Chains A and B, each alone.
Chain A
Amino acid sequence: MADENYFDFKRLAEQEEPPKGSFNIALRAITRGEYGIDYWTGGLLAAALVYQVISGIFLSFYYQAGNPYNSTIFIISKVPFGLMLLTSHLYMAYFMVALLFVHMFRQYFIGAYRGAWRWAQWLLGLVLFGLVYLIATLGYMLSYTYVGILGLHVGEVLMQRSIIGRLFPALANWLITALVGNGTTALTFQHVFIMHVAILTGLVFLVFPIHFYLYERSGPYEPAGLKKKRSKEDYVPWFPTNLFYTLFLAFVLIGIVMLASALAPQQLVQEYGFVGYNTLPFPDWYMMPMYKLMDVGGLGLSTGGVPLLVALGGFVVLLPFIDKYKGDAPLERPAITAIGIFIILFFVIMAFWGYIQPGLSQTRLFTLIMFAGIAFVAFAVTYAMKFARDDVIRNEIKNKTV
């Protein structure tokens, strides 16, 4: 566990001797043990961000907010390499969202949100998570497909039925107008486009350097049991090894995305406004759990869907302040681990269920029983493993004393 009073902002100005992170040297030497992919999920996300910005700039040369669907068709069919540009932009966004989950849950399970500045890093990471999710969703709307427009409408309904919308309906309507314009295609897409490429992306570029700075200041998280003193020989210089490793991972990621784009290019679904019989609007996979949750729990404030999401969100925000466990290993923090497993199972099950039975609502009782079942599995498995582990440790101690 970290030292006391680590929530004090004044401590950021204090220098540590010797520095733990690469705060005072941009080109930090790292140890051999840190050359593992699990240490670099953040690096992969940064590489994905760079790719998205570059491919997004090229796409923006051809995209027209006043003519969204036809300009997307133009990019796909008439622009040289346009289909690959658009597809790789989409697939890299998928990778980015998936990597967000991997990156977040890695820190979650090893308890990396605890300690000086790591709590702030965790909170900023959650802000980045929300921003990337929003950017991805808005990007999906830009092509004026029926899925995108229906998603936009769901977003508006959610805002109207949120706490703000119920208490101050005029404010919610004003907010919707400010965010997505007056309902005409040209203005709506101008707003969505600017939010996608400038406002939210700009916020990412504001928050990400602070998130990274805090990481550089703290260095990689080392669980208390695994902390060891290192000598000079353990470190490898930043140049060229660290640089080469970063580029290696970035190239592999972009290479995989290019291959995936070549093998399965994006199929643009129908334009909004066309009557499509027997077509069900499917959201993208990362929105599917929320979509299904709204199916079974409802959209409203007092019903199951929204409060559950708010509770899960609130839990991850408060996590650094409520985790009082002394141990570092996942099984030494069983309740936190069990809730993490619950969240993963919940998202995966809801996503699959959404694809199997989209739009099929369930009774409240059935939904509650299902959630209780997932919670039981998560908690039972974690605590069974914890008890088994405690037993092994007790036996080892007993054998040693004998």
Chain B
Amino acid sequence: MKLKIKLYSIVLVQLAIAVIMWYVSLDNPIGYQQMWAAMFGVELILASAILYGAMKQFMR
């Protein structure tokens, strides 16, 4: 149960970042691209955390 809460909260954070990424990409894809790439990097690392958590669960 605790793991589920953790995974869902990561997804929520990802969703929030994704909305900002969407806004940035439409607003100024050249000027703010570094900000966008940093957020994309964080998104990927969060996604990897979800995959790792799920993998550990399946390994039990």
**A→B interface (CB under 8 Å):** 32, 35, 77-84, 88, 236, 240-241, 244-245, 247-249, 251-252, 254-259, 261-263, 265
- CB-CB under 8 A from A259, the residues of chain B are 37-38, 41-42, 45
- B52 & A77 in contact (Cβ 8 Å cutoff): no
Q: How far is the CA of A256 from the CA of B38 in the complex (A)?
A: 9
From residue B13, how far is it (CB to closest CB) to chain A in Å?
14
- A262 & B45 in contact (Cβ 8 Å cutoff): no
- A252 & B48 in contact (Cβ 8 Å cutoff): yes
- B36 & A81 in contact (Cβ 8 Å cutoff): yes
- A84 & B55 in contact (Cβ 8 Å cutoff): no
From residue B39, how far is it (CB to closest CB) to chain A in Å?
8
From residue A34, how far is it (CB to closest CB) to chain B in Å?
12
From residue B51, how far is it (CB to closest CB) to chain A in Å?
4
Among B30, B38, B59, point to the contact of A241 (Cβ < 8 A).
Answer: B59
Q: A83-B33, A84-B37, A241-B58 are in contact. Are A258 and B44 (CB under 8 A)?
A: yes
**6 A-B interface contacts by CB (under 8 A):** A77-B30, A83-B33, A84-B37, A244-B51, A251-B48, A262-B34
- A245 & B55 in contact (Cβ 8 Å cutoff): yes
Q: How far is the CA of A251 from the CA of B50 in the complex (A)?
A: 11
Q: How far is the CA of A241 from the CA of B54 in the complex (A)?
A: 8
User: What 0/1 pattern do residues 11 to 41 of B give for CB contact below 8 A with A?
Assistant: 0000000000000010001100111111011
- A251 & B47 in contact (Cβ 8 Å cutoff): yes
- B58 & A80 in contact (Cβ 8 Å cutoff): no
Among A79, A83, A247, point to the contact of B51 (Cβ < 8 A).
Answer: A247
Interface of B is mostly: helix
- A88 & B58 in contact (Cβ 8 Å cutoff): no
User: Which range contains the number of B residues in contact with the other chain?
Assistant: 20 to 34
Among A77, A236, A244, A262, point to the contact of B41 (Cβ < 8 A).
Answer: A262
Q: A240-B54, A247-B48 are in contact. Are A80 and B33 (CB under 8 A)?
A: yes
Q: How far is the CA of A236 from the CA of B59 in the complex (A)?
A: 7
- CB-CB under 8 A from B44, the residues of chain A are 251-252, 254-255, 258
- CB-CB under 8 A from B37, the residues of chain A are 81, 84, 88, 258-259, 261-262
Q: A84-B34, A241-B55, A244-B55 are in contact. Are A256 and B41 (CB under 8 A)?
A: yes
From residue A232, how far is it (CB to closest CB) to chain B in Å?
15
- A255 & B36 in contact (Cβ 8 Å cutoff): no
- A255 & B41 in contact (Cβ 8 Å cutoff): yes
Among B38, B52, B54, B59, point to the contact of A262 (Cβ < 8 A).
Answer: B38
Q: How far is the CA of A99 from the CA of B17 in the complex (A)?
A: 30
From residue A137, how far is it (CB to closest CB) to chain B in Å?
25
From residue B32, how far is it (CB to closest CB) to chain A in Å?
10
Q: How far is the CA of A78 from the CA of B47 in the complex (A)?
A: 30
Q: How far is the CA of A42 from the CA of B36 in the complex (A)?
A: 29
Q: How far is the CA of A258 from the CA of B36 in the complex (A)?
A: 9
Q: Which A residue's beta carbon lies closest to that of B58?
A: A241
- B36 & A244 in contact (Cβ 8 Å cutoff): no
- B58 & A244 in contact (Cβ 8 Å cutoff): yes
Shortest 10 CB-CB contacts between residues of A and residues of B: A258-B41, A80-B29, A255-B44, A259-B41, A251-B48, A262-B38, A244-B55, A255-B45, A262-B37, A84-B37
Q: How far is the CA of A248 from the CA of B55 in the complex (A)?
A: 9
Q: Which B residue's beta carbon lies closest to that of A257?
A: B41
Q: How far is the CA of A77 from the CA of B43 in the complex (A)?
A: 25
Extra contacts besides A83-B30, A259-B38, A263-B38 (9): CB < 8 Å: A88-B37, A240-B58, A245-B51, A252-B48, A254-B41, A255-B41, A256-B41, A259-B41, A262-B34
